[in-house]
């Protein structure tokens, strides 16, 4: 049937028919490749649609890496990263993202990895590294608060503010006009501005923590030789 559709020039119908092959069938993979090849002769949009359908079905049949290759071939790097992460290939997804994605798309991949590391692997410190790399300072602060580490949370805010101030200062001293526009967008520190409720809560909690430490020191017996 597919061959007949191709012979009469109805390539779109042929692609649709080939894509309808059951993923569990032994004919799925060759038909999937035929669908991708035919769709490329019709239009870019049909090619991308065919690749997305084939890739999704490949994931269902434990062929995640093959699906990733197809998605990358048509420039769908964000979806390729998502499928790698779904398959548990977190490092591979991050490597692909670092190579082909920028800005919020890249940050989204890192933040999802950070969430996995924090909530599934229960590795707070590694997740903090990933959150910071993704620019997700608010999420990093939340993780520290939930871990009940007021001193670390306070030091984290302080460190971020110091680094932010240094960056702003370096931009202010630069003669490059492009730096001026960048500086304007970095006036406030996203997620850690003084009015942020989490930041305020950390400050209050840290104050109580310091008072408790002082009382403990006052109540403890001095060391004697």
Alpha helices for the chain (secondary structure H): 2-7, 11-19, 28-40, 44-60, 64-73, 77-86, 90-100, 103-119, 124-133, 137-146, 150-172, 177-185, 197-219
DSSP string, 163-225: HHHHHHHHHHT---HHHHHHHHHTSS-TT--TT-HHHHHHHHHHHHHHHHHHHHHHHSPPP--
C-alpha 168/C-alpha 172 separation (Å) is 6
Of 4-8, 59-63, 119-123, minimum mean pLDDT range: 4-8
Judge whether residue 178 has pLDDT over 60.
no
Q: pLDDT at residue 1 above 80?
A: no
Looking at the chain, the whole-number percentage of residues with pLDDT higher than 90 is 25
Is the confidence at residue 224, as pLDDT, over 60?
Answer: no
Once rounded to an integer, what is the mean pLDDT over residues 157-170? Answer: 79
pLDDT bin (cut points 50, 70, 90) of residue 52 is confident
pTM for this one? Answer: 0.70
Phi then psi for residue 220, to 5 deg, are -75, 150
């Amino acid at each position: 049937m597919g061959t007949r559709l191709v012979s009469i020039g109805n390539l779109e119908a042929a692609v649709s028919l080939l894509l309808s092959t059951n993923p569990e069938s032994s004919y799925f993979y060759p038909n999937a490749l035929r669908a991708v090849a035919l769709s490329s002769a019709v239009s870019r949009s049909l090619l991308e649609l065919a690749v997305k359908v084939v890739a999704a079905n490949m994931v269902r049949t434990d062929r995640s890496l093959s699906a990733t290759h197809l998605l990358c071939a048509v420039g769908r790097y964000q979806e390729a990263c998502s499928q790698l992460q779904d398959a548990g290939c977190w490092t591979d997804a991050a490597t692909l993202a670092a190579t082909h994605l920028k800005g919020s798309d890249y940050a989204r991949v890192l933040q999802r990895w950070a969430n996995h590391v924090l909530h599934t692997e229960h590795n707070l410190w590694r997740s903090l590294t990933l959150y910071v790399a993704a620019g997700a300072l608010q999420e990093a602060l939340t993780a520290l608060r939930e871990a009940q580490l007021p001193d670390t949370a306070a030091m984290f805010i302080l460190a971020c503010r110091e680094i932010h101030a240094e960056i702003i200062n370096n931009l202010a001293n630069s003669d490059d006009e492009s730096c001026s526009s960048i500086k304007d967008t970095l006036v406030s520190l996203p997620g850690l501005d003084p009015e942020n409720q989490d930041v305020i809560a950390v400050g209050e909690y840290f104050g109580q923590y310091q008072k408790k430490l002082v009382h403990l020191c006052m109540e403890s017996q001095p060391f004697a030789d």
